[in-house]
Amino acid sequence: MNGFWNSSEKVQAKSNFFPKLPQISFMPKKIYFASDFHLGIPDHDSSLIREKKLITWLEMARLDADEIYLMGDLFDFWFEYKTAIPRGYARLLGKLAEITDAGIPIHLFRGNHDMWAFDYLTQELNIQLHRNPEFREFYGKHFYLAHGDGLGPGDHGYKFIKKVFASPVNQWLFRLLHPDLGIKMALFWSRKSRKVSMENERRDEDITLKLIQQRITVHSHKILDQHPEISYLIYGHYHYPLDTRLTDNARQLVLGDWITHFTYAVFDGEQLELKTF
Ligand SMILES: [Mn+2]
């Protein structure tokens, strides 16, 4: 009897021990983050090159991804009419659908350029769409995720414009325009604002760093005051990859973009790394 119990205990101990090994070494266990692809600019052909590069990255990420987070401004301009969407991006849309069909969740934060994503991407591609910053927990670590536009102090002009664009009445009015006209106007506007900010970047990298510090870092500290459990705060929007330690426990990552930097972040449960693709 004694012998029986002893051997059973051994088996028990073994079966508790062994299943953990394959989970650590073979199970997909990574969360991927990337932002600001601005597909559509500067023209169809150069955008297509970036779109294909993004697809190659998605194919790599899906091999060991638990979830993929696209942190905003996937498209330089996106608007959903009741019965139509902007033309283009066929390869990307297909790839996103293929990955979510395979059971890997894809999240998209609405950026300032694709704030008019409504239910098409959710319905057709099963993408999880986020309008607001999100608090998440991955493998026991706490994250704060946001596109980053309109966060932090100042920037009142933009915050006002965002309200105008977010108004259902204005969206309804815009929807009344013929898409050929509406999208043409929107692209003109978006290219103009992009050109201005690209010129700013070229003129002085310090301006971007200063803006991140004045807006995003201030915002992050405010979030950390209320949520000291957070270890990582991840943003897009500024098109400048930047990894900053804010406190003993917390790091802030600005993801960069897929126009000039081709950067992304990956979290494997232990390390959060900012990488270049
Ligand atoms: Mn943005």
Query: Could you tell me the residue range of the domain that residue 188 belongs to?
Result: 29-276
Q: How far is the CA of 273 from the centre of ligand 1 (A)?
A: 21
Each residue's pLDDT tens digit, 119-140: 999 999 999 999 999 999 999 9
- The answer as to whether 263 is a domain residue is yes
Q: How far is the CA of 148 from the centre of ligand 1 (A)?
A: 7
Q: How far is the CA of 149 from the centre of ligand 1 (A)?
A: 6
Each residue's pLDDT tens digit, 176-216: 999 999 888 888 877 776 665 555 555 578 899 999 999 99
Cα–Cα distance, 39 to 91 (Å, whole number)? 12
Q: How far is the CA of 211 from the centre of ligand 1 (A)?
A: 13
Summarize the confidence of residues 216-221 as an average pLDDT: 98
Pick from 130, 60, 61, 62: nearest CA to 102? 62
Calculate the dihedral angle through the C-alpha atoms of 193, 82, 84, 160, rounding to the nearest 10 degrees.
Answer: 0
- The answer as to whether 198 is a domain residue is yes
Q: What is the predicted pLDDT for the residue at 20?
A: 52
- The answer as to whether 236 is a domain residue is yes
Q: How far is the CA of 36 from the centre of ligand 1 (A)?
A: 6
- The answer as to whether 6 is a domain residue is no
The CATH number of whichever domain residue 63 belongs to comes to 3.60.21.10
- The answer as to whether 17 is a domain residue is no
Number of domains in the chain: 1
Q: What is the predicted pLDDT for the residue at 5?
A: 47
- The answer as to whether 62 is a domain residue is yes
Summarize the confidence of residues 251-262 as an average pLDDT: 97
End-to-end CA distance of the chain: 61
